[in-house]
Amino acid sequence: MDKDDLLLAHFQGRLTTDETKKFQALVENDADFAAEVAALSASRTVFASEQADGQTGGWNKLSSAIDADARKPANDNKPMRLSLLQTACVAAAAVVCWQFFASPLLTSQETPITMASPVAEGPTLQVVFADGASLAQVSAVLYELEGTIVNGPSAIGVYRVEFIDEKGREAARAALRQQPNLISEILSE
């Protein structure tokens, strides 16, 4: 009989007297075998205590879990409340629907689109006025040259000035170049 069979027979209580002597000799002489017997004996006592507790302990665990769940109502009959994000989405959808569907159907007349700044009909120059130029000086010079500001200032300070004809624009270009205290730059069209 090998070691494993001896272990099994020992724990099942089937060892004969000769086998018991052989088992005792192995436990005394073989440290690994003795450690294995000790580990199996300890686990056997733990399993035996759990089996004794098992029928009542398992039921107690189950009943306590059921009781814990029973304390919470399954349906507390609270009304559904929309979260803040859901409410914002509904409001945004309502505004979009109104703008794109209801509003065009309710307005019977078409409103023409008007430009923010008029389109120049004659020849133009793009100019950048000097930092120290006053409104009175600019107005006086443009009045003499028969020019009108039709657009500006842009993000970089450029004004578009319209003239009656091409000859007036070229005369204004030459006259404006002679006034560096009023005009800092003339851009080509």
Tell whether the model's pLDDT for residue 130 goes beyond 80: yes
Q: What digits encode the pLDDT tens for the residues 152-186?
A: 788 888 888 888 888 988 998 899 889 888 888 88
Dihedral sign computed on CA atoms, order 85, 89, 95, 96 = positive
More confident residue, 65 or 115: 65
Residues 6+ apart with CB under 8 A from 125: 147, 160, 161, 163, 169, 172, 173, 176, 186, 187, 189
Q: How confident is the model at residue 70, as a pLDDT?
A: 63
Q: What digits encode the pLDDT tens for the residues 91-110?
A: 999 998 888 877 767 766 55
Q: What digits encode the pLDDT tens for the residues 3-25?
A: 888 888 888 888 889 989 998 99
pLDDT band at 28 (very low <50, low <70, confident <90, very high): very high
**Percent with pLDDT over 90 in the chain:** 5
Q: How confident is the model at residue 29, as a pLDDT?
A: 92
If you ran DSSP here, which 8-state letter would residue 165 be given? S
Residues 6+ apart with CB under 8 A from 105: none
Separation of alpha carbons 183 and 181, rounded Å: 6
Q: Would the pTM of this model clear 0.95, i.e. be above it?
A: no
As assigned by CATH, the class of the 124-187 domain is alpha beta
Distance, first Cα to last Cα, the chain: 112
Q: How confident is the model at residue 92, as a pLDDT?
A: 93
Sheet holding 124-129, edge to edge: 147-151, 159-163, 124-129, 183-187
Structure tokens at 127: 């100019």
Residues 6+ apart with CB under 8 A from 19: 1, 6, 9
- Dihedral, 31, 37, 41, 44 alpha carbons, nearest 10: 140
- For the chain, the average pLDDT equals 80
Least confident of 42-46, 115-119, 130-134: 115-119
Residue ranges of the domains in the chain? 3-55, 124-187
**Percent with pLDDT over 70 in the chain:** 77
If you ran DSSP here, which 8-state letter would residue 27 be given? H
